[in-house]
Amino acid sequence: MPRYQAPLDDIRFVLEDLLDVGQEANMPGFEEMTPDIFFQVIDEGAKLCEQVLFPLNQSGDAEGCVFDQGEVRTPAGFKEAYRTFAEGGWTGLACDPAYGGQGLPELLNFVVEEMICSANLAFGMYPGLTRGVHNALDLHADEAIKRRYLPRLIDGSWSGTMCLTEPHSGSDLGLVRTRAEPAGDGSYRVTGTKIFISAGEHDLTANIVHLVLARLPGAPGGTRGISLFIVPKLLPTDDEGGLGARNEVTCGAIEHKMGIRASSTCVLNFDGATGWLVGEANKGMRAMFTMMNAARLAVGIQGLGLAEVAWQNARAYAGERLQGRALKGAKCPDQPADPLLVHPDVRRMLLTQKALIEGGRALAYWVGLAIDRAEHHPDPKVREADNEFVALMTPIVKALLTDIGFDVANLAVQVFGGAGYIRESGVEQYVRDARITQIYEGTNGIQALDLVGRKLPQNMGRLLRRFFHPVAEELAAVMAGADPVLIELATPLAKAFGRLQTATTTIAFKGLEDPDEAAAAASDYLRLFGLVALGAMWLRMAKVVQARPDHPLAASKLATARFFMAKLLPETSGRFAAIMAGAKTVMAGAAAAL
C-alpha cells in the first residue's frame, strides 16, 4: 500500500531558512502572518491531507466517477471529505477577505496545494478550479456579480469551472464557436458545446459556476472577438445563496481517462443557457488569462506534489526490499540479501528524484513569494520587478515541474520494478495522474513557445533581467569568495548559466530572421533555463547550510547539491548543442516524410 507524509522539514527549510518567510508579515495585509502562524496553518493542512484526503486517493482512482442520465457521482468518501475541507476554511485560504476569504499569502497557498496534490490530486481539482474562477471574477467582474458569486465560491458551497475547449478548438481559442445572444434584460443566451471540462458536473456542491468563452453577434474573428460569460448550473435568486431553476446547461458525458479518474472531466452542452458578461465585450481572453496563468502555476505545483509522493514511496521500498548484494560485499550479512538502496543505479534514481523535487520546491516557493511581493509590497518598484519575474517564470514552473512530476513518478515505478507496474503498489497511479499535467492548461510545448515568443522579447528583454541579474550577482559573489565547497558547486553552474545566456542571444537574433528558429529551439531552451534555475536554487540552499553546519539538513543538502551539479546539470550541454544546431533538421523535408 502507498504512503504519504507531508515533507514538513524540507518545507520549513525552504520557507524559513532559504526565503525568510518572516518578510510576509512586513507587507500590508499580512501583518499577522508571522512564521509561527504560517507553520500552524501548514501543520493543520498536513493533517488534513494525510488523514482525510490521502486515504481516498487509491480507492477514488479505482472507483472513478459515475455518469448517470446527466448526473455525476464522485467516488465514495469524496462528499464527506469535501465537506470537511470546506468547513475547515480551506476553500477560501488565499481568497478576497471582502467576500469572506481569509486573504492569506499566495506562498502559503502554494504549500497547501502541494500537499493536497501529493495526497489526492483528483480531489484537489475541484477546489483548485474554484479558486481560479474566484481570481478571474475578483479582477474582472462587476460588483453585482462579485457580491452574488464570490461568497459562495469562497465558502465552498458552490464550485467553479473554466470552459474553453471545444471539439474543434483546443489550444487555438481563436476557433471558438460557442455563441452568446443578448436577451434584452442584461443577460445572454449561451449556446455551444465544451469538452474536457474538469469538474463540469459532480455532487460535491449545491451549484457549479461555469466561466465560458463565447462570441457575441458581429464579434471580430479570432481571439479578438471572444467574450467571457458566467453561466451557473442553477440560477441564483438573490445575493444570499438562494437557488432557483436549473439552467440550460447539461452534462452530456464524462471522459474515461488515463489518470485523475476521480476528477470528473465532462462534455457540457449549453442550449440557450442564461449567462452574464464578465468584463468588457470581446475582451474575454484578458480575463481568461488571469485564470489560466494562475492555473499554470497551480499545475506546476501538481507536478511537484506528485513527484514528492512518488519519491517517498520509492525511497521506502528501496530501503525495505531485499534484492542482491552490494558489489563491495554484503551490507546486511544477517539478511538473505541487501536492500535495494545499496545498488548504485537505485541510488542514482533516488538522488535524481530528490534533487529535482527539492530544487523544484525551492523554485516554486520563490515564485509564490514573488506573487505576494508583487501584490502587497509597499514599494512600487519592487512590485513591478516581482510581477515581471512571475510572468517570466510562469511557463518554466508549469512545464519544468510537470516534466519533473512525470519523470519522478516513472523512476518510482522503475525502483519498484515489476511491483511498480502492479496497481496494488500505488506508484503506477502517479505516472497516470502526472501525464495530464504536461498537457492541460497549455501543453508544455506551448509553454516553451510562450517563453521564447512572448516573455523573451517583452519590454526589450527586461523580464529576463529579473532572473539573470540576481543569478549573475550570486555567482560572482561565490566565485570571489574563499569557500571551496561553494566554489565547487558554483563552477559548473556558471558554465551552464553562460550557455543559457548564449542560447538566449542566439534565439533572439535567429528568431527575428526566421520564427521557426526560435520555435524549434523552444522546448530545449525552456529545459535549459529550468535546469539553470534549479541549479541556482541548489547553490542558494548550499550557502544556507554552509553558514549553518549544525543544521539538521546540512549533510543531506550538500550531498544532493553536489549530485545535482555533477549528474543532472550536465544535461544543459546537450540542450545547448541542440539549440545551436538550429531549425534546419526539424523543418527540412516534406510533411509526407514525417
Per-residue pLDDT of 514-531, as tens digits, reads 999 999 999 999 999 999
CATH number for 444-586: choose from 1.20.120, 1.20.140, 1.10.287, 1.10.10. 1.20.140
Residue 495 in this model has a pLDDT that exceeds 80: yes
**3-state DSSP assignment of residue 382:** helix
Average pLDDT over residues 91-118: 96
Task: Region of 101 please: left (phi>0), alpha (psi -120 to 50) or beta.
Answer: beta
pLDDT recorded at residue 50: 98
Average pLDDT over residues 488-495: 98
> 236-242 long-range CB contacts below 8 Å, 24 or more apart?
236/148, 236/149, 236/207, 238/148, 239/147, 239/148, 241/151, 241/152, 241/157, 241/158
Q: Given this chain, do its domains 8-140 and 444-586 carry the same CATH topology? A: no
Q: Are 430 and 437 in contact (CB under 8 A)?
A: no
pLDDT recorded at residue 20: 97
Q: Of 393, 512, 498, 371, nearest to 455 (Cα)?
A: 393
Q: Are 300 and 282 in contact (CB under 8 A)?
A: no
Average pLDDT over residues 186-200: 97
Neighbours of 588 (CB within 10 A): 8
Percent of the chain with pLDDT over 90: 93
**Dihedral pair phi/psi, residue 159, rounded to 5°:** -130, 175
Query: What DSSP designation does 205 have?
Result: S
Residue 286 pLDDT class (50, 70, 90 cuts): confident
d(CA 399, CA 300): 7
Residue 169 in this model has a pLDDT that exceeds 90: no
| DSSP-H helix ranges across 480-553 | 484-513, 515-547
Q: Are 222 and 400 in contact (CB under 8 A)?
A: no
pLDDT 10s digits, 394-428: 999 999 999 999 999 999 999 999 999 999 999 99
pLDDT recorded at residue 576: 98
**3-state DSSP assignment of residue 261:** coil
Dihedral of the CA atoms 403, 404, 409, 412 (nearest 10)? 140
**3-state DSSP assignment of residue 311:** helix
Task: Region of 322 please: left (phi>0), alpha (psi -120 to 50) or beta.
Answer: beta
Percent of the chain with pLDDT over 70: 100
Q: With DSSP H G I counted as helix, E B as strand and the rest as coil, what are the percentages for the chain, rounded to 5?
A: 65, 10, 25
Residue 100 in this model has a pLDDT that exceeds 80: yes
d(CA 371, CA 389): 9
- pTM (global) more than 0.95: yes
pLDDT recorded at residue 283: 92
Q: Of 534, 513, 90, 150, nearest to 307 (Cα)?
A: 534
How much is the CA Rg of the chain, to the nearest whole Å?
A: 24
- Domain limits, the chain: 8-140, 160-283, 444-586
d(CA 366, CA 399): 16
Could you tell me the CA-to-CA distances from 90 to 48, 123, 128, 376, 567 in Å, in that order? 10, 13, 11, 21, 39
d(CA 295, CA 201): 19
Residue 272 in this model has a pLDDT that exceeds 90: yes
CATH fold, domain 160-283, is: Butyryl-CoA Dehydrogenase, subunit A; domain 2 (2.40.110)
d(CA 111, CA 64): 27
**Segment (H or E) for 453:** none
Query: What DSSP designation does 393 have?
Result: H
pLDDT recorded at residue 130: 96
Residue type, 31: E
CATH number for 8-140: choose from 1.10.1060.10, 1.10.540.10, 1.10.1240.10, 1.10.287.1080. 1.10.540.10
pLDDT recorded at residue 171: 83
Residue 223 pLDDT class (50, 70, 90 cuts): confident
pLDDT recorded at residue 319: 97
Question: What beta strand segments (E) does 75-115 contain?
Answer: none
What are the catalytic residues?
A: 441
pLDDT recorded at residue 588: 86
Residue 383 pLDDT class (50, 70, 90 cuts): very high
Bridge partners (DSSP) listed for residue 194? 268
pLDDT 10s digits, 328-342: 999 999 999 999 999
Residue 24 in this model has a pLDDT that exceeds 90: yes
pLDDT recorded at residue 292: 81
Residue 172 pLDDT class (50, 70, 90 cuts): confident
pLDDT recorded at residue 460: 85
d(CA 191, CA 199): 20
d(CA 541, CA 14): 8
Place of cell 475547449: 165
d(CA 6, CA 87): 21
Residue 102 pLDDT class (50, 70, 90 cuts): very high
